[in-house]
Amino acid sequence: MKQYTVAVLGATGAVGREMMSILEEYDFPVKELRPLASKRSAGKTLCFKGEETVIREAGPDAFKGVDIVLGAAENDVAKAMAPHILEAGAVFVDNSSAFRLYDDVPLIVPEINGEDAKNHKGIIANPNCSTIITLMAVAPIAKISPIETMVASTYQAVSGAGIGGLHELENQVEAYVKGEELQVNTFAHQIAFNLIPAIGSDSGNGYTSEEMKLQNEGRKILHLPEMKVSCTCVRVPVMRSHSISVTVVTKEKVSVEQAREAILSAKGVLLTDELKNDLYPMPLDTSGQDKVFVGRIREDLTNEKGLNLFCCGDQVRKGAAANAVQIAQLLI
């Protein structure tokens, strides 16, 4: 079996570390693993398959001989590195939002539109985390009848802000229990025992950049360019799984039973829907694995072609790192 040289760009972040761990877990055929990060981290090591692997500085010469680059860096780094990655002949599977809406960049959730990856020209984008989790839940319904509108309210974990977000919640909770003053660094406000109903920047129409991703990326992934989506993104004091309360209205009515069956037979999702037995998707249950849990499926009461559901998935894994490695698997 062919072995590949895989670079992880932004290897020291929460998503970068998870990518390395998932490459190991999925037994991805790695010849050489090359962790790349900023100058600050260069020379330090990260563990891969039991061996200490030296971090190199991400720069023009870092990609020579690399087959696949898994990007877990911010937009500016992704943009700066893309030309060097392409020049080196590697494929760039990028988790930033820099290239997601480019016409010649496939935006991929393998279970939904894996076929689109074939048309790549060197860059494949990994969608936004809440978008992946929501679409995993609604794509089986959209296959029965196209989604016309979607209203979503998110419950997003602190891991969405990286390791800093995780530390912030840990530290605030510890300070609370010890009776000390809570420090606010990563988020705009205290997150422990609080909610922050704003994620991303102001996109000009009253929605945040994060809120518009579900419509913009969802249209591209589901091949539904007319789909209308209203989204409200809220940060909650949960560690690493995102949850979404969703109302979908389809072109033709889809029954609760049809939706259940579609989810039961779809890959990557788990029907978790027994209200009487206290069984529904919860962040604690989805954290640390790749399946998106879907439950609370019921007829919408405001529109006869509507369905309501609640879904939940690990933001660091299926929402980011696992989806990226699954895209890489499509390439080999």
Catalytic residue numbers?
129, 242
Q: Contacting its own copies (CB under 8 A), which of 62, 123, 125, 150?
A: 150
Instruction: Work out the burial of residue 305: count CB atoms within 10 Å of its CB; fewer than 13 is exposed, 13-18 middle, 19 or more buried.
Output: middle
Q: Least Å distance between CB 97 and its own copies?
A: 19
Segment 180 to 209, residues that bind its own copies, using CB under 8 A: 188-190, 193-198, 202, 205-208
Query: Token pair of 302, please?
Result: 């405001």
**Rounded to a whole number, what is the distance in angstroms from the first to the last CA of the chain?**
10
Nearer to its own copies, 115 or 202 (CB): 202
User: CB of 107 within 8 A of CB of 220?
Assistant: yes
Number of residues that bind its own copies (CB under 8 A): 61
1 vs 201, beta carbon nearer its own copies: 201
Q: In the structure encoding, which two tokens stand for residue 276, read together?
A: 């009487």
Judge contact between 319 and 132, C-beta under 8 A.
yes
> What tokens were used for 158?
């602190």
Binding pattern for the stretch 106-145 against its own copies, x by CB under 8 A and - elsewhere: ----------------------------------------
Name which of 284 and 332 has its Cβ closer to its own copies: 284
Q: Does residue 243 bind its own copies (CB under 8 A)?
A: yes
Q: How far apart are CA 221 and CA 142, in angstroms?
A: 11
Q: How far is the CB of 13 from its own copies (least distance, A)?
A: 21
Of 209, 308, 330, 331, which one interacts with its own copies (CB under 8 A)? Answer: 308
**Alpha carbon distance 254, 299 (integer Å):** 9
Stretch of 4-12, 13-21, 80-88, 234-242 lying at the interface with its own copies (CB under 8 A): 234-242
Complex with its own copies: residue 53 or 153, whichever CB lies closer: 153
The smaller minimum CB distance to its own copies, of residues 186 and 308, is found at 308
Q: Is 303 in the site for its own copies (CB under 8 A)?
A: yes
Residue 38 within binding range of its own copies, rule CB under 8 A? no
The answer to the question of residue 310 lying near its own copies (CB under 8 A) is: yes
Residue 46 or residue 157: which is nearer to its own copies going by CB? 157
* Binding flag, residue 245, its own copies (CB under 8 A): yes
Least distance from C-beta 315 to its own copies, angstroms? 13
- Binding piece for its own copies, criterion CB under 8 A, among 6-14, 61-69, 110-118, 297-305: 297-305
Contact status, residue 97 vs residue 200, Cβ threshold 8 Å: no
Please compute, for residue 263, the number of CA atoms within 13 A of its CA located in the half-sphere on the CB side.
28
257 is a contact residue toward its own copies (CB under 8 A): no
**Nearest residue (CB) to its own copies, 12 versus 241:** 241
* Contact positions vs its own copies (CB under 8 A): 149-151, 153, 155, 169, 173-174, 176-178, 188-190, 193-198, 202, 205-208, 215, 228-230, 232, 234, 236-239, 243, 245, 247, 249, 256, 275-276, 278, 280-284, 295-303, 306, 308, 310, 312
